[in-house]
Chains A and B, each alone.
Chain A
Amino acid sequence: MTAHSLAAARRGSWLPSAPMIGAKFLELRRRRVLTAVTAAFTVGTPVIFYGIREIYHLSDPARYAPAGNGAFANTVTLIAEFGFIAAVMLGATAGTSDLTDGMFRHLVITGRSRLALYLARIPAGLSILLSLAAVGFTVTALATAFLSGPEPASVAAALPGDLARSGLWLELDLAIGFTVGLGLGSLMGQRTVPVVLLTVWQIIITPQLADHVLPHLINAQRIVPGVAMDQLKPAMLAGGVTVGPTGGIQPAALPPMPAWAMATVIAGWILGWLTIGAWKMATRDA
């Protein structure tokens, strides 16, 4: 097989090549405002949160506890909320930037599979988002451990597995935001409406559905990813500073979901929206 025919065969493959993923990573990373907002929502959130608490503590130690005391679960939840918005913005941008910037037709003309062009967006966007979220989580864990004063911090006492579960939960939450934003953005061909819709969904609708039982609609409420994610929350996050020996603590409002149901809901949202986005990408006029 010649180099040319090999390149032609790769061009027809639905798998994105490493240079394609790298190119999309470059394109997203160079969006300074978007990268800055993502960094602010994931890394900036714990820095500001702990910074303010530490200033209070240093100004009046008798009145205000050390910054790290009892703050871990709240901070991770805060990162999850803000980070979800950043994830949606990043996903919707990844899904629409080629189209809105006029690059989509250049890319299609290369003869590369449209599915490969679409799939390249996933690792490219997630690598930015999840790395920043990991930094934010690490900052949170370190701040909790080192700014807890003389009392032993829960994080310091936590098992590595519990800490890892909390980190993975945060990463999964943001990955859902990214993939739904990517799929919806690709479907609609524009960024603003998906970001607004998903922000409203996450900030307003999901808490309502998670906290209030709708008679006869409990199963419908359970297919909301935020509800499933709440039930999947590790004990270290769900119970505040408490390190639970077993699984998550479900919200009081809704009866517990079995693990397979949580996994199905979450996987369904991720795969469903990615499929919708891929279908639109494959059939859209360029």
Chain B
Amino acid sequence: MTTVSQTGGSPRPPGAEPAPGQDGDWAVEVHGLTKRFGARAAVDDVDLRVPRGCAFGYLGPNGAGKTTLIRVLLGLTRADSGTMSLLGLPVPAQRGHALARVGAIVDEPRFHGHLTGRENLKILAAARGGDASRQIGPALGRTGLSQRAGDKVSAYSLGMRQRLGVAACLLADPQLLILDEPMNGLDPAGMRQMRDMIRGLVDEGRTVMLSSHLLDEVERTCDQVAIVDHGKIIRSGPIAELISGAGAVVEVQCSDPPAAARALDHCAVASRVAVTDAGLTVTLAPGPAREQAAEIYRRLVEAGITVYGLHQTHATLEDWFLSATSRLEENQ
């Protein structure tokens, strides 16, 4: 059994009418969305709400269906069933109006290689219309590409193309940015720059929906997350709440870590056990951590393993992600 929780606000049963003005609270709202490729459901009956004005992480392993959901939202491919809205406007019925204030990068950003960065933005600004062409200079400046705007894109690194993709998003003066794996190809400095830029955009009141498989980056960048696996959202909510609700993590230093891991097999209080160089890392099931740690200690001693030390650490998004997915496997 999988759990699908609504992100913020009160849950609304699928098909129920929204309260007046309620839809405007969500930058992205999806109900019962399904997209199949043959027999395989890349997006499987997904319900998702992304609140306005936050950085929202859409997190999952490769092949989980993150990009497919984004492609469906943006009209790059068609959904098989379900309803969607962007910035309160139903899509695909009002996609043109909705996308007027949406910027997005999907997959690896590619452009006309024989044109300069500025010329590529001119083409996109011409398609957007309005005052998008006046945003080219500021967008290049904000992404740090002003000095290289006259170079052909074929000479750009992947990181520069990522930044050009963000600059293309900014042409819309967007209320919502949807960024698919924006950290891909960036060096540490570039990742930090991207993170700061995303936080800056959120501070301006924009919404950033960010898909990634990089747990650490999402934890540093986002306020809320949804975890997707096999096309389904398995958890969602504010990161702080999710981590606090996750089981604590206990690091165990012991004489025989592989034997200790076997001793904790099928132990109800340990939702996940990993052997490390120093010993074991045990993610506890939700519940009183003190008693559970004592139970771990008792089992190891009974198994004849010498325990040198046992201490509790803070759970990270990665710990929570792994415990959530392992619980999912157990449920399945």
How far apart are the CA atoms of A19 and B115 in the complex, in Å?
17
Within 8 A of B (CB), among A98-152: 101-103, 105-113, 117
Contact A112 B77 (CB under 8 A): no
Whether B114 and A31, one on each chain, are in contact in the complex, defined by CB atoms closer than 8 angstroms, is yes
B304 close to chain A: CB less than 8 A: no
- A220-243 at interface with B (beta carbon < 8 Å): none
Given the known interface contacts A27-B112, A101-B110, the answer about A108 and B100 at a Cβ–Cβ threshold of 8 Å is no
Q: How far in angstroms is the closest Cβ of chain A from B114? A: 6
Instruction: Tell me the complex Cα distance, A101–B110, Å.
Output: 6
Q: Which of B107, B112, B130 has a CB less than 8 Å from the CB of A101?
A: B112
Point out which of A7, A11, A26 has the most chain B C-beta atoms below 10 A from its C-beta: A11
0 or 1 for each of B109-149: is its CB under 8 Å from A? (1 = yes): 11111110001101111111111010000000000000000
Which B residues lie within 8 Å of A12 (CB)?
96-97
A4 within 8 A of B: yes
Whether the Cβ atoms of B98 and A111 lie closer than 8 Å is yes
A286 on the B face (CB < 8 A): yes
A204 within 8 Å of B by Cβ? no
A111 CA / B96 CA spacing, docked (Å) = 4
B111 near A102 with CB under 8 A, answer yes
- Cβ of A206 within 8 Å of any chain B Cβ, yes or no, is no
Size range of the chain B interface in the assembly: 35 or more
Map CB proximity to A onto B57-81 as digits: 1 under 8 Å, 0 otherwise. Answer: 0000000000000010011111000
When the two chains form their complex, are residues B127 and A110 in contact, meaning their CB atoms are under 8 A apart?
A: yes
Question: Which A residues touch B74, using CB under 8 A?
Answer: 105, 108-109
Would you call A285 and B77 a contact (CB within 8 A)?
A: yes
Query: Is the C-beta of A1 less than 8 angstroms from some C-beta in chain B?
Result: no
A22: which B residues are within 8 A, CB to CB?
Answer: 126
Contact A110–B124 (Cβ < 8 Å):
yes
A256 to B172, CA, bound (A): 57
Task: Give the complex CA separation of A113 and B122 in angstroms.
Answer: 18
Known: A11-B100, A109-B104. A26 touches B119 (CB 8 A): yes
Assess whether B124 is in contact with A19, with CB atoms less than 8 Å apart.
no
| Bound Cα distance A285, B35 (Å) | 13
Question: Chain B contacts of A19 at CB under 8 A?
Answer: 125-126, 129, 133
Shortest Cβ gap from B256 to chain A (Å): 53
The A contact surface, by secondary structure, is helix
B41 close to A (CB within 8 Å): no
Most A Cβ at <10 Å: residue of B78, B115, B122, B126: B126
> Which residues on B sit within 8 Å (CB–CB) of A106?
109, 111, 124, 165, 168
> In this complex, what residue of B is CB-closest to A26?
B119
B133 proximity list for chain A (CB < 8 A): 19
Known: A27-B115, A105-B106, A108-B75. A11 touches B128 (CB 8 A): yes
Min C-beta distance of A32 to chain B, whole Å: 8
**Listed residue (B102, B110, B125) with the most chain A CB atoms within 10 angstroms of its CB:** B110
In whole angstroms, what is the CA distance A31 to B113 when docked?
A: 10
Any A CB within 8 A of the CB of B95: yes
Interface residues of A (CB under 8 A from B): 3-4, 7-8, 10-12, 17, 19-20, 22-24, 26-27, 30-32, 97, 101-103, 105-113, 117, 285-286
A105-B76, A285-B78 known, 16 other contacts, Cβ within 8 Å = A10-B129, A11-B96, A11-B100, A11-B128, A12-B97, A23-B122, A24-B123, A97-B112, A105-B106, A105-B107, A107-B123, A107-B127, A108-B76, A111-B97, A285-B77, A286-B71
